[in-house]
Chains A and B, each alone.
Chain A
Amino acid sequence: MTDHELIWRIAGGSGDGIASTSQNFAKALMRAGLHVFTHRHYPSRIRGGHTYTEVRVSADPVKSRGDGYNFLLALGDSFARNPSEGAYYGNEEIKPLSENLDELDEGGVIVYDSGLLDASEIEDFDERVEENDWHVYDIDLRTIAREHGREVMRNTAGVAVTCAIAGIEPDVIKSLMADAMPDKILEPNLTVFDDAYEMVQEEYDVEAPDVSAPTGEHDEEQVLLSGSDAIAYGAIDEGCRFIAGYPMTPWTEVFTIMTQNLPELGGISEQVEDEIAAAALAIGASHAGVKAMSGSSGGGFSLMSEPLGLAEITETPLVLVEAMRAGPSTGMPTKPEQSDLEHVLYTSQGDSHRIVFAPGTAAEAYYQTRKAFQIAYEYQIPSIVLYDQKLGGELSNVPASVFDEEPNADLGSVLTEAELEDAPHDDSGKYQRFQHDTENGVSPRSLPGQKGGRYLATGNEHMPAGHISESPENRVAQMNRRMQKVDNIRAELDADGEFNTVHGDEDADLGLITFGSQQGTVEEAADVLNEKGHSVKVLGVSEMMPFPKQEVADFLDSVDEALVVEMTASAQFRGLISKELGGYGDQMSSLLKYNGNPFEPADIVEGFETALLEGEELPDNRTKFVPKVGE
């Protein structure tokens, strides 16, 4: 086992096969016994535009993309919109090489396709190479690919070169290619691979690699999947067999995975006219007795505001997922941000009562999606899984055993026809589906078509059998009962105590607090800080509503001060903590990032040491420090 890591970045244009190539590379190394974690960077375009995927490879478990990277495979943008220097967006063809140099570690490796790219077009390229001690391999991947296949296979050639330089056994990749590729394209790809691999072996000294891949072993079987996969699988294992949606990046991934899998499960997927309809269809299906979901990203979720409130007042179980991206409005469609937090917590008129989970990892996304369904159907309330482009799209290895769970198709608090016979009805035979006094605030529902179960569901305030009423007494009774459910859910989550995570030394005197997808990155930053002699622990919050007040207050009470880390520009999460706890403003500072890229551990280490501890300005505008109240 080696203690170093390979962080490999494959860069090209949209349409150059970057995503599939990197996914195969990551899976191959996972199969070889390594831990992997990917990060995708891509524009909102079909063809062309600089895109890259990073694959972090380690012998030990990894929780983030890591800091910087040490191996660049620059394919060049073969679909570049305008290769001329004077173009508005610059020379796009060269960007996969030129744009990636700033973050490359000292001593790192550059492989670029000299068939497409001319490094002399990059200002001071040779000087920078020398200054940073980079090892450059200019290889005509395009010609190798053309000789035995098609030009697009230059990514296979690039992977082969990577293997030769970083000391990865060819069979690791080739056996995966055999699984992943249809026969017709497998043969030429294997030839391209061998040619490129042998060429490097012959022409370069690869005995002492500049950057090499680690070796390792897993103690149990792993699967490579994304947060979007995990959310979809959580829904399927809870018996969700109906989804309605409208495409929008990045939520489309969950919608697509569900849609592709539901037919074989005898389920139904509906792509509909807009997100208002999507949420309304999920309500209609759930009302009729099918476990259902919908979802969207920021703009589409805005359209779901009104149906969301309808689900609250009609007490219709509803599960929505919201994949955040940089806003406001269309913002940056393919870039992660966490700035829909307040939107999701409070949108729709009236006093909101809903459940919001923000999972931090793929495994948490699976468990929390399942819990979201359980609560929605047991308590007849909307549950929302809040995630973002980062968690949704990043791939990591997860033990297969995480998914070795029993399915649960329980519809929750629903009566059978036999139970309806003894249930209270009004004089016209309508079932009193919204009774005032119930044990836990939940009044069990009936389903259309059940004998003796008819009632009126309405978005107006209503009497026990559903009839519209503006009586003050009834209003308060119904409102209190609905709100009481939230308190009971809070108590249930407290008893479970499994979703929020604390990382680090219990006695640490400084805290980092974050929510959702930043959790792993913040934990790695804390590990670095502790190695440097600080005393830091991390609270990762997943239960956004109802808020875990006691747990967060206990954490804040146990530290001198805390840095709240979030991908928003207005410190929404810190605001939520202050609102919910009614204080602690003089104990919390914020580190914010909203430039379109998720935090790297080093951003947090820097913010913590430079801004929080030393009180100095941060060197650039990548992140923003907001001091605690009174400073």
Chain B
Amino acid sequence: MSAFSAIGEETEQDQNEFTPGLEPQPTWCPGCGDFGVLKALKGAAAELGLSPDEMMVTTGIGCSGKLNSYFNSYGFHTIHGRSLPIARAAKLANPGLTVVAAGGDGDGYGIGGNHFMHTARENHDITYIVFNNEIFGLTKGQTSPTSPMGHKSKTQPHGSAKTPLRPLSMSLNSGASYVARTAAVNPNQAKDIIVEAIQHDGFSHVDFLTQCPTWNKDARQYVPYIDINDSDDYEFDNTNRSEASEMMFETENALHEGTVLTGRYYVDEDRPSYQQEKQRIGEMPEEPLAERYFDDSYEWERTFDNFLDKHK
């Protein structure tokens, strides 16, 4: 019998299950795009029939890092940029968990960029939502890795001399097997994409455009948006890597020219997840490791019997 009975339990959930019955109320500003992520995640979790006790949501630091304060599940609000390594270890330890990591553009593409690349490369079976508002919000409006060139802020008084980072292209090139972009102003698409991302066996990256009405007033509110999968103007095959790559490049350019493109950019259902690869080479047990510590019949190996002969 599992020591983790919440995992895989058949449940019918209302999305309110994922709203804590008690304070805290979100500290996000009125009109903040972060509400859109919270709502989409709640909707997706309910649609998937997940229970709050089988989900683990890890976050970084910033306004986005508060996501798991307002979402009712197991949560780990980590340190700046480090939500991914904690998330992927929890998934390796107990693969039955539904693990969602989240953070902002500074958190995921700046300080945590190395983890982002490597988690994508390894194709861990987790979902990563990046709240991309093209700015540092919580620290009051500094230029971020996705801020457009020329962006003026207190830390870039003459306008940023740097070209913005290309999150979708970076994700694809690093090895993510599901790459999408959605926007807070597009709640239905956002929920659907998060459902797909959680269901996907492998690393799913959702670049989530979240408008910051307080510190990025000049920026677009990401409307109107275009869903590239529904639009006749954007024909491409999102299972074809090179077509996906071109579409991403165009999308990243378009954002800074005033056109908000969203949708599923790349989907590779064939690539095995990291867990599957690791099991294939015999470096990860078939049974969840976390269960073993509750298995009274398990005979724990010991050095004296297993390893001393080669030292004699």
Residues of A that sit less than 8 Å from B by CB = 27, 31, 221-225, 229, 233, 236-237, 239, 241-242, 244, 261-270, 272-274, 276-278, 280-285, 287-292, 306-307, 310, 314, 400, 403-409, 411, 416-417, 426-430, 447-460, 466-468
Contact = CB atoms under 8 A, between A and B. Distances in A.
A281 to B, nearest CB: 4
Given A429-B52, A467-B69, A451 B114 contact: no
16 contacts: A236-B301, A244-B89, A266-B289, A268-B92, A278-B85, A292-B93, A403-B304, A427-B22, A453-B53, A454-B53, A456-B76, A457-B77, A458-B69, A466-B75, A468-B66, A468-B77
Contact of A450 (B3, B21, B85, B87): B3
A601 to B, nearest CB: 26
Interface in B265-312: 278, 282-285, 287, 289-290, 292-294, 298, 300-304, 306-308, 311-312
Interface string B57-76: 01001000010110011111
A37 to B, nearest CB: 15
Given A400-B304, A456-B69, A449 B96 contact: yes
Contacts of B298: 409
Given A223-B308, A268-B283, A287-B76, A280 B302 contact: no
Given A284-B58, A449-B56, 16 more contacts: A27-B311, A223-B311, A236-B307, A239-B293, A263-B283, A284-B76, A287-B86, A310-B82, A314-B76, A407-B301, A428-B22, A447-B3, A448-B56, A449-B54, A452-B53, A459-B77
A449 B293 CA distance: 14
A284 B304 contact: no
B73 to A, nearest CB: 6
Contact of B308 (A265, A403, A407): A403
B115 interface: yes
B291 to A, nearest CB: 9
B114 to A, nearest CB: 5
A276 B6 contact: no
Contacts of A452: 53
In this complex, the member of B56, B58, B115, B307 whose beta carbon has the largest number of chain A beta carbons within 10 angstroms is B307
Contacts of B75: 454-458, 466
A267 B312 CA distance: 25
In this complex, the member of A283, A404, A450 whose beta carbon has the largest number of chain B beta carbons within 10 angstroms is A450
B241 interface: no
B78 interface: yes
Contacts of A237: 302-303
A449 B6 contact: yes
A68 B73 CA distance: 64
A290 B306 CA distance: 21
Contact of A310 (B78, B115, B285, B304): B78
A459 B78 contact: yes
B88 A281 contact: yes
Contact of B302 (A307, A407, A468): A407
A269 B89 contact: no
Contacts of B165: none
A270 B94 contact: no
Contacts of B9: 451
Nearest to B298: A409
Interface of B: 3-7, 9, 20-24, 51-54, 56, 58, 61, 66, 68-69, 72-79, 82, 85-90, 92-94, 96-97, 114-115, 117-118, 278, 282-285, 287, 289-290, 292-294, 298, 300-304, 306-308, 311-312
B86 A430 contact: no
Given A282-B89, A287-B90, A272 B77 contact: no
Contacts, number: 231
A456 B85 CA distance: 17
Contacts of A266: 285, 287, 289, 292
Nearest to B74: A448
Contacts of A427: 21-22
Given A287-B90, A405-B302, A456-B75, A273 B115 contact: yes
Contacts of B290: 288-290, 447, 449
B312 A400 contact: yes
Given A282-B89, A429-B52, A448-B94, A233 B284 contact: no
B278 A306 contact: no
Contacts of A417: 3-5
B72 A407 contact: no
A109 B77 CA distance: 64
B293 A409 contact: yes
Given A280-B82, A291-B293, A307-B82, A448 B97 contact: yes
B300 A458 contact: no
A236 B92 contact: no
B205 to A, nearest CB: 17
Q: Report, nearest first, the 10 A-B pairs whose CB atoms are least far apart.
A: A284-B89, A449-B4, A280-B85, A428-B20, A458-B77, A284-B86, A223-B311, A288-B93, A281-B89, A289-B290
A554 to B, nearest CB: 35
B77 A456 contact: yes
A20 to B, nearest CB: 13
Contacts of A453: 53, 74
Given A266-B292, A417-B3, A428-B22, A272 B85 contact: yes
A277 B118 contact: yes
Contact of A447 (B4, B66, B86, B282): B4
Contacts of B61: 459
A430 B20 contact: yes
Contacts of B302: 236-237, 403, 405-407
B126 to A, nearest CB: 11
Given A448-B94, A458-B77, A290 B289 contact: yes
A459 B54 CA distance: 22
A425 to B, nearest CB: 10
B312 A449 contact: no
Contacts of A307: 79, 82
B53 A449 contact: yes
Nearest to B21: A428
A207 B161 CA distance: 82
Contacts of A267: 285, 289
B22 A426 contact: yes
A507 B292 CA distance: 52
